[in-house]
Amino acid sequence: MSAQIIDGKKVSSDIKAELAAEVAELKKGGLEPCLAVALVGDDPASHVYVRNKEEACKLIGIKSIKEQLPASTTQEELLALVKSWNDDPSVHGILVQSPVPSQINEHEVLLTIDPAKDVDGWHPFNVGQLMVGESTFESCTPSGIIELLKRYNIEMAGAKAVIVGRSNIVGKPVALLLLHNDATVEICHSRTKDLAAETKTADILVAAIGKPKFITADMVKPGAAVIDVGMNRTEEGLCGDVDFEAVKEVAAAITPVPGGVGLMTVAMLMGNTVKAAKQQAGVVERSIV
């Protein structure tokens, strides 16, 4: 039997509809959530991602500010922009689209963003909050994965979760979130010995490698839930890290690419922006200083 397709398009539009209703109420009370995005340089994929974020803001009723900066932008110029948004009470969420040009020190940029406005959940303060299990801004792709698993009633407690990829923006934070949801978690990476032997133990397999169709059917345990975080641009178009056509015949549930995790990232970012606005307006308790 072919796997259930986890429909990120449907879940992300449900979440956006829920947020739109919430924002309409907030606006009645005089609070308009606002997300400010800096886009440095000419990376074509980044332009697409930022446009998707702007469209989601529009749909939900979130105000969006976009600063498009030239590839030659200096560190000082970018930091000055971030600081101006930190100091602007009408801006609730700040995001600097990644990747940035090589003259920019991205870590320093992240450290400069006010953690209370860090809707990406990438500031080391928020990463630390995630580590200790405190409510904070969770990184959007990992929290989108958890949301998909929850909405499809895929049991995390006691499940063996194997993550392939150890990046700061997906592999490590999704491991922590799965752990907080009582999964038994293993992170694999390029130096893992006998990767297939590890991935075959997974009830939940998360592929975040960045290599097209890297996870093949023989690497998947029958009945597993397979989450594909890959976004690889190939000659045949956008393609995930999982060999979807073959793996869907082995897995019990699987996310497609496109139409899976990618759409969830934007939905969770919108949720974080609304949360940031409510925290800064004192509508909900601030979880951070």
Catalytic residue positions, numbered: 53, 97, 120
Instruction: Rule CB under 6 A: say whether 97 interacts with ligand GUN.
Output: yes
Applying CB under 6 A, the span of 95-103, 154-162, 220-228, 281-289 interacting with ligand GUN comes to 95-103
Applying CB under 6 A, the span of 17-25, 90-98, 130-138, 176-184 interacting with ligand GUN comes to 90-98
Three-state secondary structure readout of 156-217: CCCCEEEEECCCCCCHHHHHHHHHHCCCEEEEECCCCCCHHHHHCCCCEEEECCCCCCCECH
Q: Alpha helices, DSSP H only, in the chain?
A: 8-28, 44-60, 75-86, 106-112, 124-131, 140-151, 171-180, 195-199, 244-247, 261-281
Q: Which of 140, 225, 226, 254 binds ligand GUN (CB under 6 A)?
A: 140
Distance between CA 218 and CA 147 in Å, rounded? Answer: 27
Q: Which of 7, 114, 118, 120 binds ligand GUN (CB under 6 A)?
A: 120
Instruction: Rule CB under 6 A: say whether 265 interacts with ligand GUN.
Output: yes
> What is the size of the binding site for ligand GUN (CB under 6 A)?
8
Distance between CA 29 and CA 190 in Å, rounded? Answer: 51
Instruction: Rule CB under 6 A: say whether 98 interacts with ligand GUN.
Output: yes
Applying CB under 6 A, the span of 92-100, 127-135, 157-165, 211-219 interacting with ligand GUN comes to 92-100
Phi, psi at residue 35, to the nearest 5°? Answer: -115, 130
Residue 119 C-beta: closest distance to ligand GUN, Å: 9
Binding site for ligand GUN (CB under 6 A): 49, 95-98, 120, 140, 265
